[in-house]
Each structure stands twice: as C-alpha cells, then as structure tokens.
Amino acid sequence: KQEVTQIPAALSVPEGENLVLNCSFTDSAIYNLQWFRQDPGKGLTSLLLIQSSQREQTSGRLNASLDKSSGRSTLYIAASQPGDSATYLCAVPFSYGGSQGNLIFGKGTKLSVKP
C-alpha cells in the first residue's frame, strides 16, 4: 500500500533563505510525482509534475527532484519570500493493474517565511 510522508510538518524560516521540503513514498514504482501549494482555506495549486523518467523539474525559484530508488522527492525553494508562506503537499498516483488512478497525498509541510 502506497504511503506518502512529508517531514517536517511545519517549518519557519527568515526571508531570503534557501530551503528544502521533503517527501517520501513507500512504493518506488510511481508513474509521476506532483507538488502542490495550498493557501489557507483555498484549493490546491499545481507547482510541478515530475515524470518517473525525470530526475528534476524547475519552475522559477522552485526546483523539484525525484529519486525513485530511494523513494524520495525534494522541493527546493530559492530566496524564500513571505508570499511563499503556504502548505506544500506532494502526491503520487495510485497504481493498479498497470493503470494510474487517484492521487495519494502527504499531510503537507506548512511553511512560514518571516519578513
């Protein structure tokens, strides 16, 4: 059974710091991995999707890496800003019979960037 874990549950950093968020999954046979951002009381915003054949994806100040063999992904945020404060979630699809289904989410890391 696939399980997704994100540690730490919360993180507070001063503005301008580079930071890394971690995501681990128990079944390495994933099709892809997605990172999302959620602001309080809002829906999720897709940040990056990494296919299983990729090692990393970049979007602006965000860089996500994927190591399937170790069951880990990291989201690197460069030069953090107060506007980056949000909960960050990672998710992998549920695999069944060679097909990919719904997303299985971690509990998220709540990031607070202090001015």
Nearest-approach distance from CB 98 to another protein, in angstroms: 11
- Binder among 24, 65, 72, 105 for another protein (CB under 8 A): 105
Site membership for another protein, residue 64 (CB under 8 A): no
Q: Give the distance from CA 72 to its chain's centroid.
A: 10
Sequence-separated contacts (24+) of 36-42 with Cβ below 8 Å: 36/88, 36/89, 36/90, 36/91, 37/86, 37/87, 37/88, 37/89, 38/86, 38/87, 38/88, 38/89, 38/108, 39/86, 39/87, 40/86, 40/87
- Binder among 106, 109, 111, 113 for another protein (CB under 8 A): 106
CA distance linking residue 112 with residue 12, whole number of Å: 5
Site membership for another protein, residue 34 (CB under 8 A): yes
Site membership for another protein, residue 5 (CB under 8 A): no
Site membership for another protein, residue 41 (CB under 8 A): yes
Site membership for another protein, residue 44 (CB under 8 A): yes
- Interacting residues toward another protein by CB under 8 A: 31-32, 34, 36, 41-46, 49, 89, 91, 93-95, 99-108
